[in-house]
Structure 1
Amino acid sequence: MSGDSFYLEQGTKAKPGINNDGKRIKLPKIGWVRLHEPLPITAFHNCVISRKADRWFIAFKYEIEQPATSPDRPIVGVDIGIKELAVYSNGQTFANPKAYRRMSRKMKRLQRRVSKRVKGSNNRKKAVSKLAKLHLKVSNIRKDAIHKLTTYLAKNHIEIKIEDLQVKAFLKNHKLAGAISDCGMYEFKRQLEYKTQNFSSKLTVVDRFFPSSQICSSCCNHRHKMPLKVRVFECPNCGNIQDRDLNAARNIERWFEGIFIPERSELAVSSTVSACGVDKSDSSHAIATVKQEVNTKITHVQLSLDLGSSG
Structure 2
Amino acid sequence: MLYVYRFRLYPKKGQVEFLNRQIGHCRFVYNKLLEIAKESYEKEGKKWNYYEYKRLLPKLKEEFPFLKEANSQSLQEAVKWLDRAFKNFFKGLAKFPRFKRKKRVNSVSIPQHFRIEGDKIKIPKLKTPIKLKKHREIEGKIKSISITKLPSGKFYLNVLVDREIEPLPETDKVVAIDVGLKSFCTLSTGEKIENPRHLLKTEKRLKKLQRKLSRKIKGSNKYLKLQKNIAKLHEKITNQRNDFLHKLSKRIVGDNQVVIVEDLNVKGLLQNGNLSKHIADASWRKFITYLECKTKLYGRKLIKVNPFYPSSKLCWVCGYKNENLKLSDRRWVCPNCGTEHDRDYNATLNLLKEGLRTLKGSLTLRAVGLGRPELMSVESVSALVEAGSSSFQ
Q: TM-score range by the shorter chain?
A: 0.7 to 0.9
1:5 to 86, 92, 107: 107
- Residue in 2 that maps onto 1:195: 294
Amino acid at match of 2:252: L
Determine whether 1:87 maps to 2:183.
no
Contact 2:173/2:255 (<8 A) preserved: yes
For 1:158 and 1:38, how far apart are their aligned partners in 2?
29
**Corresponding residue for 1:122?**
221
Gap regions ≥5 residues in structure 1: 12-16, 260-275, 279-311
- How far 1:277 moved relative to its partner? 5.3
Q: CA deviation at 1:170?
A: 1.0
Contact 2:260–2:304 under 8 Å retained in 1: yes
Paired residue for 2:255? 156
- 1:29: which partner in 2? 125
The gaps in structure 2 that reach 5 residues or longer are 1-25, 28-101, 361-376, 380-393
Q: Is the 8 A contact 2:167 2:297 kept in 1?
A: no
| Number of residue pairs aligned between Structure 1 and Structure 2 | 256
Corresponding residue for 1:38? 135
Q: How does 1:66-105 map to 2 (within 5 A)?
A: 66-105=165-204
1:201 Cα deviation from its structure 2 partner? 1.4
Q: 1:109 aligns with which of 208, 212, 216?
A: 208
1:20 to 94, 117, 120: 117
Cα deviation code 1:193-226 (max 9, x no counterpart):
2221111111111122211111222343333331
- Give the Cα–Cα distance (whole angstroms) in 2 for the partners of residues 152 and 50 of structure 1: 29
Q: Which residue of structure 1 aligns with residue 234 of structure 2?
A: 135
Larger RCO of the pair (alpha carbons < 8 Å, separation 6+):
1
Does 2:349 correspond to 1:250? Answer: yes
Choose 202-211 or 56-65, whichever is displaced more.
Answer: 56-65
Q: Report which of the two has the higher share of strand.
A: 1
TM-score, structure 2 as length reference: 0.60
Give the distance between the partners of 2:132 and 2:339, measured in 1 at CA: 56
More displaced stretch, 229-238 vs 122-131: 229-238
Deviation of residue 9 (structure 1)? 2.8
CA distance in 1, matches of 2:247, 2:226: 32
Residues in 1 aligned to 2:346 and 2:260: alpha-carbon distance in whole angstroms: 14
Q: 2:329 aligns with which of 219, 230, 245?
A: 230
CA contact (8 A) 2:334 2:341 kept: no
Aligned to 2:145: 47
Shift, 1:65, TM fit: 4.6
Mapped to 1, the partners of 2:197 and 2:232 lie a distance apart of 17
Offset from partner CA, 1:236-273 (integer Å, 9 cap, x none): 333322421111011100112499xxxxxxxxxxxxxx
Task: Verify the 8 A CA contact 1:50 1:56 in the aligned structure 2.
Answer: yes
- In our comparison, the structure showing a higher alpha carbon Rg is 2
Question: 1:132 is paired with a residue of what secondary structure?
Answer: helix
- Report what 2:47 is aligned to: none
The secondary structure found in structure 1 opposite 2:316 is: coil
> Which one of 159, 164, 167 corresponds to residue 60 of structure 1?
159
Code of the aligned partner of 1:103? T
CA distance in 2: counterparts of 1:235 and 1:277, whole angstroms = 22
